[in-house]
Structure 1
């Protein structure tokens, strides 16, 4: 137990270094909660309207980032209403749970603890296992400590307005773009809409080229400025109905909510590439910017999110490799 308490303290130190980047705080706590309890996965869910939304995930829950379940018939919603920790030993026989949702995730047992912001419970921290009765009182205590870390980060990130808190939980602190969690939520929604209406949509994966040399030569302030500049350029070219997100580090994602065909998505990627590679000046230094862009289109390149993401990744890496080949003499 003492080693686990030390790990909680180390996590608190790391959270302090993240500052007001609430999205990354939630990611970190989900990862550490899974590690410290020996769980199969962990989730930070926020209550939004009548739904609970997976805003940070790890382990077995990682593929379900952005997943929504109804508050009214879930253990998470009950935790929101009652305001105290809840333990499900076996989802197959517990009437409080959303059984179809549990089966979709693959969980059999879980602990759910409330996340408080001021006087309101606005979400939950949850650890999951694919076996029944996987947790004990020590795990419950550790999870309570981890939820307190998120609550403290929430308080400092947004001392007054809950609406501002939700914005910070779903947007990247450096660029102001939607973060990975909000990107995946919108991707799930876009896929469901396209399946219902037999529409096409496009998915772009952008990986910034040359960030490390910028950081090494000019420092991380210049690197951050370059990331912000690329984010702004992507926004300028992309339609307001589409989603542009910073997925982490130097990686961005774009959901083109409607495209006519694969050629239309490729044309959009080409316009982005032309916009991004324009010169950029930072503190009287001219910095070269570029990005490798991968393209996938539903349904031709995949009918599920994982397949579309894999195709966009492969396409992006192919673009990056083509830039590294020596030019023919």
Structure 2
């Protein structure tokens, strides 16, 4: 049986899931974050079965950089888990013929436990705990993850009692704004960069942070802050095209993938359009609030050849803009202050 500490850990996770309510994407992120400490793993991931592929939709530790990674269901331990609906234990990828060794090498894992995630009687994905060491996990760890998978299945059921399509939507979109979440954003960015590398066309990624949300929350409460977040999301969506991806990455942080770049000035024109759109006053319950954002942009392939480099560059430029905003002299129309 799992140890007392492991059982208490699962109960704590269940309590936190209950606080999240119907936020399935948040639940998935919470579960992978809490899984490694339960069994001393080096990482954890939730993969969803999408067509003939398994897709990394939430990950931490050694799996954190692999969001959006796709592997074929056929020839992978995750795919076999979905097919059989059984918990599978790999003690060493070097001697286990069931695994996709190339994918394992990319992540850097040597041993793993893969447990099925079921929804409405169908196995729709897996929770995978992984270690850099061979032979890391024992039978107690397997049973512990089996219990945890039942907790996740219950969360999936209560998040959506409808169909699998609704389940996948909730797993890949932000519950507050309806925008793509971080996992889907990274997945689409990975796909865009792959296409643009083949056709040698540019793409832009924008990192966007709201200015002054804390002051707004402190002055008028989180309900007004939530309205501001939703309004920014709506305006960002209005500025983007059908081919672009707009995502809420967490808190007051957003991202946009601008592809294809078919404007003469590229992403710079989109940045100006966003700044103008966000600057329109927000009127809520008789008060007028000034919204503003800080935007950083990185362009592929000029600023970098891969996801990590582009996001780091865009993030750095965004914070440079934010510092300039905070350096405005007194009397400047600071964002998110009531007028």
Deviation of 1:326 after TM superposition, in Å, equals: 4.0
User: Take 2:55 and 2:294, find their aligned partners in 1: how far apart are those partners?
Assistant: 31
Question: Where does residue 67 of structure 2 map in the other structure?
Answer: 65
Deviation of 1:160 after TM superposition, in Å, equals: 2.2
Asked if the contact 2:243/2:260 (under 8 Å) is kept, the reply is: no
Runs of 4+ residues deviating >3 angstroms? 260-263, 326-329
Asked if the contact 1:80/1:114 (under 8 Å) is kept, the reply is: yes
Matches within 5 A, 1:127-142: 127-142=129-144
Asked if the contact 1:262/1:297 (under 8 Å) is kept, the reply is: no
User: Take 2:215 and 2:118, find their aligned partners in 1: how far apart are those partners?
Assistant: 42
1:144 to 143, 146, 164: 146
Question: Where does residue 231 of structure 2 map in the other structure?
Answer: 229
TM-score between the two structures when normalised by the length of structure 1: 0.97
Asked if the contact 1:200/1:260 (under 8 Å) is kept, the reply is: no
User: Take 1:13 and 1:74, find their aligned partners in 2: how far apart are those partners?
Assistant: 33
Matches within 5 A, 1:240-251: 240-251=242-253
Q: Deviations over 1:181-218 (max 9, x none)?
A: 11111011001001111110000000011111111111
Taking a change above 3 Å as real, the CA distance of residues 326 and 283 of structure 1, as seen in their structure-2 partners, is: closer
User: Take 1:34 and 1:257, find their aligned partners in 2: how far apart are those partners?
Assistant: 36
Taking a change above 3 Å as real, the CA distance of residues 212 and 90 of structure 1, as seen in their structure-2 partners, is: same
Taking a change above 3 Å as real, the CA distance of residues 6 and 198 of structure 1, as seen in their structure-2 partners, is: same
Taking a change above 3 Å as real, the CA distance of residues 261 and 130 of structure 1, as seen in their structure-2 partners, is: farther
User: Take 2:262 and 2:232, find their aligned partners in 1: how far apart are those partners?
Assistant: 26
Question: Where does residue 109 of structure 1 map in the other structure?
Answer: 111
Total equivalences in the alignment: 329
Question: Where does residue 337 of structure 2 map in the other structure?
Answer: none
Deviation of 1:327 after TM superposition, in Å, equals: 3.7
SS at the partner of 2:137?
coil
User: Take 2:328 and 2:28, find their aligned partners in 1: how far apart are those partners?
Assistant: 43
Taking a change above 3 Å as real, the CA distance of residues 150 and 262 of structure 1, as seen in their structure-2 partners, is: farther
Deviation of 1:328 after TM superposition, in Å, equals: 10
SS at the partner of 2:176?
coil
Q: Deviations over 1:301-325 (max 9, x none)?
A: 0001110001000110010011122
Question: Where does residue 85 of structure 2 map in the other structure?
Answer: 83
Structure 2 unaligned regions, length at least 5: 332-339
Asked if the contact 2:207/2:318 (under 8 Å) is kept, the reply is: yes
User: Higher mean Cα deviation, 107-116 or 276-285?
Assistant: 276-285
User: Take 1:12 and 1:125, find their aligned partners in 2: how far apart are those partners?
Assistant: 16
User: Take 2:139 and 2:285, find their aligned partners in 1: how far apart are those partners?
Assistant: 55
Taking a change above 3 Å as real, the CA distance of residues 262 and 132 of structure 1, as seen in their structure-2 partners, is: farther
Question: Where does residue 280 of structure 2 map in the other structure?
Answer: 278
User: Take 2:87 and 2:255, find their aligned partners in 1: how far apart are those partners?
Assistant: 36
User: Take 1:138 and 1:193, find their aligned partners in 2: how far apart are those partners?
Assistant: 44
SS at the partner of 1:69?
strand
Deviation of 1:261 after TM superposition, in Å, equals: 8.3
Question: Where does residue 313 of structure 1 map in the other structure?
Answer: 315
